[in-house]
Amino acid sequence: MNWLKRIILFLLVIFILPALAHAGLWITKPRPSSWSTADWSSADILPKIPALSTAAIYVFSARTGGLKGAFATHSWIVTKQAGSQKYTRYDVVGWGTPVRRNLRPPDGKWYSNHPVIHHEIHGDEAQELIPVVENKISNYRWSKYGDYIVWPGPNSNTFVSTILSQIPQLATSTPATAVGRDYPSSNRWVSFKNGIFRITLGGYAGMVIGKDVGLELNFLGLVAGANHTTGAIKIPAFGTYSFI
């Protein structure tokens, strides 16, 4: 039984203790009591009136509400066509039909938590990719009422991760705190795509290896890992920290 004790100790030290530590910090912060009292207004990250000629694609994330926010972030995609001064935001939510368009301001706070831009593309490349993004969104497999499952997925982070993984030019990893991003987007639990080797046990546990992501281990949605090329480490619940 020594091997079982070692596994339990490993999971405790690498995943559970950091998550509990962040939860302890999280509960000391002021938070809205419910979604109705939360601030969903623009965080003033994007220009209110963007340049008419420039296309853009953004991937946003922000801590989610309640105690879930101690462990997880919410992700969404924003596009802006060349020749337009309007943004289009795409989210997946847990009530009604999951995929929503312009549910909130493009750079809106999420449960009063300020968002960050995790990835962005501008200009001609963005303009070429926007129709591809919209096509992938319209064909997202978990888009019907009742398809959303908060944990382990498919949830809002599964949505963004799935769309990005289908477009090589946007094949960026969502934040390490995006619980649900490792839920398998197909019935294959072992895959190699866009230079990333992935093993997943239905989103409950798994491993990811790739040049851009380094080595990641995930357990119950929590992610731990390191990337020697970027000097980054990923701490469960806390997120990614770079030392280069």
| pLDDT tens figures, 25-34 | 999 998 898 8
Q: Is the separation of the CB atoms in 27 and 20 below 8 Å?
A: no
Helix (H, G, I), strand (E, B) or coil at 13: helix
Of the pLDDT bands very low, low, confident and very high (cuts 50, 70, 90), residue 79 is very high
Q: Is the peptide bond before 98 cis (omega within 30 degrees of 0)?
A: no
- State which residues form the domain around 191: 11-242
Nearest-angstrom CA–CA distance, 131 and 142: 20
Q: Give tens-digit pLDDT for 33-74.
A: 888 999 999 999 999 989 899 999 999 999 999 999 999 999
Helix (H, G, I), strand (E, B) or coil at 23: helix
- 1 belongs to a structural domain: no
- 4 belongs to a structural domain: no
Count of structural domains within the chain:
1
Question: Which residue in 191, 59, 197 sits closest to 129, CA to CA?
Answer: 59
Of the pLDDT bands very low, low, confident and very high (cuts 50, 70, 90), residue 235 is very high
Q: Give tens-digit pLDDT for 107-153.
A: 999 999 999 999 999 999 999 999 999 999 999 999 999 999 999 99
In whole angstroms, what separates CA 99 from the centre of its chain? 15
**Dihedral, CA of residue 51, residue 133, residue 109 and residue 111, to nearest 10:** 170
The single residue listed with the structure tokens 């919410």 is 74
Q: Is the separation of the CB atoms in 165 and 77 below 8 Å?
A: no
CA distances from 216 to 1, 115, 140, 173 (A): 26, 24, 25, 11
Q: What per-residue confidence (pLDDT) applies to 1?
A: 64
Residue length of the chain: 244
Nearest-angstrom CA–CA distance, 34 and 149: 20
- 5 belongs to a structural domain: no
Q: What per-residue confidence (pLDDT) applies to 201?
A: 93
